[in-house]
């Protein structure tokens, strides 16, 4: 029997900060460690799928769909759930996806002491290192809640804070059609798409995913991981697909 995840507290509507994008696409964005990244380049036809709050019993289905479509995503994992499903995190990594840090048990970090913030993040990075053999480089704050003091702690732990530019609100379970529409009705170059593979019943997210991938590809958008999106933004070009 799979362990049934308790619900991650439902999110107060996070307001992602607007991405800092150079007006002139030829200008290379400065690489500043504690700059929050919410979007890639508006000049490059690529987007990133991101999955938060896992791993969970839904993660294998998400991984199967990604693999069937030969695309990769970025998983912002919650430490306490990595304990229960380490093999899913290993499968994420071995399939070419990126495993990132989403705290130990999903608190609003802006309400915690700096010691507790440190513990939430470092304990999770250590477990990811222990699980897949590499340290995460990316961090997403629960609820998108971040302030200057959290930002500086994140930077000290060699993590780049990541938000998003398209919120599917899949965690509200609006139906798979609505989740598909949330993406395809507004998606464009450089978007970072927020979905969830944990924290509750994610069958609607799973049902929506093949149509989202197909729709993105039909719009000529390449699906890349967050590190790739950031690298290409900084380089100002899309890397060729290597096979
Ligand atoms: Zn979350």
Identify whether 55 is preceded by a cis peptide bond (ω within 30 of 0). yes
Q: Beta strands of 102-153 (E only): which ranges? A: 138-139
Higher pLDDT pick, 208 / 1: 208
Check if 52 is active-site: yes
Task: Tell me the CA–centroid distance for residue 66 and ligand 1, in Å.
Answer: 20
Cα distance between the two ends of the chain: 38
pTM of the model: 0.85
pLDDT at position 236 is 86
Which candidate, 174, 196, 171, 205, places its Cα nearest to that of 65? 205
Catalytic residue among 52, 53, 191, 232: 52
Which candidate, 182, 164, 186, 184, places its Cα nearest to that of 174? 182
What are 179-214's pLDDT values in tens digits? 999 999 999 999 999 999 999 999 999 999 999 999
Task: Tell me the CA–centroid distance for residue 46 and ligand 1, in Å.
Answer: 23
Task: Tell me the CA–centroid distance for residue 53 and ligand 1, in Å.
Answer: 5
Check if 232 is active-site: no
d(CA 101, CA 176): 26
Which candidate, 138, 137, 102, 134, places its Cα nearest to that of 121? 102
Burial class (CB in 10 A: 0-12, 13-18, 19+), 241: exposed
pLDDT at position 241 is 63
Higher pLDDT pick, 30 / 57: 57
Among the residue ranges 18-32, 89-103, 119-133, 146-160, the one predicted with the least confidence is 18-32
d(CA 154, CA 138): 9
Q: What is the mean pLDDT of residues 71-87?
A: 98
**Averaged pLDDT score across all residues of the chain:** 89
Instruction: Give backbone dihedrals phi and psi of 123, rounded to 5 degrees, phi first.
Output: -65, -40
**pLDDT cut 90: percent of the chain above it:** 82
Q: Give yes or no for a contact between 138 and 121, defined as CB atoms under 8 angstroms apart.
A: no
d(CA 9, CA 11): 6
> 67 pLDDT exceeds 90?
yes
> Which own/partner contact pairs does 9-17 have at CB distance under 8 Å and 24+ positions apart?
9/106, 10/171, 10/172, 11/142, 11/143, 11/171, 12/143, 14/143, 14/144, 14/145, 14/163, 14/167, 15/144, 16/144, 16/163, 16/164, 16/165, 16/167, 17/163
Q: What is the mean pLDDT of residues 162-182?
A: 98
Q: What is the mean pLDDT of residues 148-152?
A: 96
Q: Give yes or no for a contact between 71 and 91, defined as CB atoms under 8 angstroms apart.
A: no
pLDDT at position 242 is 55
Q: Which residues surround ligand 1, an ion (CB under 5 A)?
A: 52-53, 142
């Amino acid at each position: 029997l799979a362990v049934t995840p308790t619900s991650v507290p439902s999110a107060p509507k996070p307001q992602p900060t607007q991405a800092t994008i150079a007006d002139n696409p030829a200008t290379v964005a400065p690489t500043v460690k504690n700059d929050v990244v919410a979007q890639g380049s508006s000049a490059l036809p690529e987007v990133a799928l991101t999955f938060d709050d896992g791993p969970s019993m839904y993660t294998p289905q998400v991984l199967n769909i990604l693999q069937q479509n030969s695309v990769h995503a970025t998983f912002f994992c919650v430490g306490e759930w990595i304990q229960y499903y380490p093999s899913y995190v290993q499968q994420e990594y071995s399939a070419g996806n990126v495993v990132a840090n989403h705290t130990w048990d999903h608190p609003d970090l802006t309400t915690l002491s700096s010691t507790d913030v440190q513990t939430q993040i470092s304990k999770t990075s250590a477990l990811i290192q222990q699980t897949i053999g590499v340290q995460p480089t990316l961090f997403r704050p629960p609820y998108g809640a971040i302030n200057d003091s959290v930002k500086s702690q994140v930077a000290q732990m060699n993590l780049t804070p990541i938000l998003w530019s398209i919120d599917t609100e899949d965690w509200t379970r609006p139906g798979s059609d609505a989740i598909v529409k949330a993406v395809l009705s507004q998606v464009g170059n450089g978007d970072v798409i927020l979905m969830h593979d944990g924290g509750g019943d994610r069958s609607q997210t799973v049902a929506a995913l093949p149509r989202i991938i197909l729709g993105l590809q039909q719009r000529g958008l390449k699906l890349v991981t967050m590190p790739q999106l950031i690298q290409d933004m900084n380089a100002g070009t899309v890397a060729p697909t290597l096979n």
